[in-house]
Amino acid sequence: MNTDLGSSGALLAIIAMALVTYPMRAGGYWLMGHVPLTSRLRRILEALPGTVVVATVLPLLFREGIAAAAAIAVALVVTFIRRNDFIALVAGVGAAAAVRAMGL
């Protein structure tokens, strides 16, 4: 399990990612035809997108410091005012670049 897979490693990793993703796409469909999803399981799956974001972004915020905090704050404010991913992205990236240009 610890052998370096070298140049073929990236493709193998991509195949592994694909092999776990298709069952997520097809699995719910298949399962519904066989056993009903409980409402609890449904709520857990509904909650996942939000908790994935929180669990990913928050520790990164602590790791990456002021530039990341500024970028995320700006993106949140822009999204709150105008629901536009392009503007949020440009503004967030711009905020990070500005903070770094100031040497913070």
Phi, psi of 44 (to 5 degrees): -60, -45
Binding mask 8-47 for another protein (x = CB under 8 A): -xxxxxxxxxxxxxx-xxxxxxxxxx--xx-xxxxxxxxx
Give CA–CA dist 66/34, Å, rounded.
50
CB 34, min distance to another protein, A = 10
Q: Does 103 bind another protein (CB under 8 A)?
A: no
Q: Does 1 bind another protein (CB under 8 A)?
A: yes
Q: Does 50 bind another protein (CB under 8 A)?
A: yes
> Under 8 Å CB-to-CB from 100, ≥6 apart: which residues?
67
Q: Does 104 bind another protein (CB under 8 A)?
A: no
